[in-house]
């Protein structure tokens, strides 16, 4: 009996805790380049201390654990501590929030396939995952990027990324971490929602084929996908009902019932859209095999950054903004979010 079989119950119970009712994930795993962009948007310099201070603000927000089950960390972040010296993974665990890690090394140009990307980071991954587990991580996240454009995505790119995701997922399970597999079909471009649905369906089917071949136990995994949505520049923008229907139809065709939950990324939707679209799916009241939840980066953090602006005096307002956004997404987990709630005080 292999080690995967031995700890599958534990993996499955962590996966279920991550997609617990009314809760979802906050993605705070921006790589050095991405966090620099986010901080630049509020004119804050990306120094190690500013990154640490910002993450401390997020992780010490009171009460947010009512709606946040897990937080994804970056390599630098999992090693950082609060001003009082408490390591971030400990801060999260003390609130009952599960710490996770992004162990991939980013999406790079796929040689020979102009406009397409492959995610790097498999070399030495077993050892890195072991270290992250010792630092407190209980799950991982690996992001693959699929771009829609003229003649792309190619089947080759979809399969290369599915293969990397599956190798990462198998290593996570061997190490005792729940793999979150993230195949993101980008919303950049002028494509229709129908084209997004077609590409998302093929991407997911090829991913689940690869996971099966790599002997990954699906009960101990989570899927983090894009919603099926119109391209950003498409003149016809689908509304929440159409997005919800297309997304659920697509996932019913491609995602096996053993998967405990689907935690959507926000991918460039506004915070309000991301909440509204998730809400529309849960409001359909369907009897689905998986939870429909969130794992938002930008859609949870945008209002926080805007309220904070890098000023100590704004920390409490920024934490209120985070709590408020988390609460609205918590309501969307039940299909109980309304636009009127946007205006309610945090
Ligand atoms: P967004 O919600 O900003 O797309 O980020 C989620 C994430 O973790 C992407 O890997």
143 - beta bridge partners?
182
Q: Which atom of ligand 1 is nearest to the CA of 301?
A: 3
Distances in whole angstroms, Cα of residue 260 to Cα of each of 115, 169, 219, 250: 33, 15, 6, 17
Bridge partners of 100, per DSSP, are 72, 139
* Active-site pick, 30, 56, 182, 276: 182
Contact between 229 and 260 under an 8 Å Cβ cutoff? The reply is: no
Query: What pLDDT, in 10s, does the model give residues 43-85?
Result: 999 999 999 999 999 999 999 999 999 999 999 999 999 999 9
Torsion of CA 138, 20, 321, 95, to 10 degrees: -50
CA of 37 to the centre of ligand 1 (A): 14
pLDDT band of residue 139 (cuts 50, 70, 90) is very high
Given a cut of 50, whether residue 129 has pLDDT beyond it is yes
- Domain extent for 51: 2-343
Q: Give the closest residue (by CA) to ligand 1 atom 1.
A: 297
- Say if residue 36's pLDDT is above 50: yes
Once rounded to an integer, what is the mean pLDDT over residues 308-312? 97
Query: For the chain, first and last CA: distance in Å?
Result: 50
Provide the pLDDT for residue 346: 58
The CATH code of the domain that includes 227 is 3.20.20.70
How remote is the CA of residue 226 from the centroid of ligand 1, in Å? 9
Model confidence at 230: pLDDT above 80: yes
Structure-block tokens of residue 296: 């938002």
SS3 for 27?
A: strand
Asked if pLDDT for residue 1 goes beyond 50, the answer is no
Unique residue bearing structure tokens 């000023």: 311
Confidence of residue 269 (pLDDT cuts 50, 70, 90): very high
Segment 32-49 shows an average pLDDT of 98
Residue nearest to atom 4 of ligand 1 (CA): 267
CB atoms within 10 A of CB 17: 17
Q: How many domains does the chain have?
A: 1
User: Measured from the CA of 296, which atom of ligand 1 is nearest?
Assistant: 2
Residue spans of beta strands (DSSP E) within 39-93: 68-73
Q: Which atom of ligand 1 is nearest to the CA of 29?
A: 8
Handedness of CA 134, 139, 141, 142 (dihedral sign): positive
Name the CA dihedral angle for 243, 245, 247, 248, rounded to a multiple of 10 degrees: 150
In terms of phi and psi (left: phi > 0; alpha: psi -120 to 50; beta: otherwise), the region of 239 is beta
What's the pLDDT at 264? 99
pLDDT of residue 20: 98
Measured from CB, residues less than 6 Å from any atom of ligand 1 are 27, 29, 143, 182, 265-267, 295-299
Residue nearest to atom 5 of ligand 1 (CA): 297
pLDDT of residue 4 exceeding 70: no
Ligand 1: centre distance to CA 59 (Å): 17
Q: Sorting pLDDT into bands at 50, 70 and 90, what band is 5? A: low
| Parallel/antiparallel/unpaired status of strands 107-109 and 117-119 | antiparallel
**DSSP letters spanning 243-297:** HHHHHHHHHHHHS-TT--EEEE--TT--HHHHHHHHHHHHHT----SSEEEEEES
* Residue 182 annotated as catalytic: yes
DSSP 180: E
**Residues counted in the chain:** 346
pLDDT the model gives residue 3: 53
């Amino acid at each position: 009996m292999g080690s995967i079989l031995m700890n599958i119950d534990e993996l499955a119970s962590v996966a279920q805790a991550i997609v617990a009712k009314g809760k979802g994930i906050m993605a705070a795993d921006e790589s050095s380049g991405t966090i620099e962009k986010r901080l630049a948007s509020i004119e804050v310099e990306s120094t190690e201390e500013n990154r640490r201070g910002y993450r401390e603000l997020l992780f010490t927000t009171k009460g947010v654990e009512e709606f946040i089950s897990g937080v994804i960390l970056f390599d630098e972040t999992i090693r950082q501590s609060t001003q009082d010296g408490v390591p971030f993974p400990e801060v999260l665990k003390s609130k009952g929030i599960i710490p996770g890690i992004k162990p991939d090394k980013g999406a790079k140009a796929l040689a020979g396939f102009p406009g397409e990307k492959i995610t790097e980071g498999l070399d030495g991954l077993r050892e890195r995952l072991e270290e992250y587990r010792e630092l407190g991580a209980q799950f991982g996240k690996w992001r693959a990027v699929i771009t829609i454009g003229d003649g792309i995505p190619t089947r080759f790119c979809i399969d290369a990324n599915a293969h990397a995701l599956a190798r990462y997922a198998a290593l996570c399970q061997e190490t005792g971490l729940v793999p979150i597999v993230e195949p993101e079909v980008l919303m950049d471009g002028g494509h229709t929602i129908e084209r997004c649905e077609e590409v998302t369906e093929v991407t997911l089917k090829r991913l689940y084929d690869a996971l099966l071949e790599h002997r990954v136990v699906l009960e101990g995994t989570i899927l983090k996908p894009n919603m099926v949505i119109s391209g950003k520049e498409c003149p016809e923008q689908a509304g929440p009902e159409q997005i919800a229907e297309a997304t659920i139809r697509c996932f019913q065709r491609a995602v096996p019932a053993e998967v405990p939950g689907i935690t959507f990324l926000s991918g460039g939707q506004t915070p309000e859209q991301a909440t509204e679209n998730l809400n529309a799916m849960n409001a359909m009241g369907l009897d689905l095999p998986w939870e429909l939840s969130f794992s938002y980066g930008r859609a949870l953090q945008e209002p926080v950054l805007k309220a904070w602006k890098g000023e100590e005096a704004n920390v409490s307002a920024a934490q209120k903004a985070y709590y408020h956004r988390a609460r609205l997404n918590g309501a969307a987990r039940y299909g109980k979010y309304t636009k009127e709630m946007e205006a309610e005080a945090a």
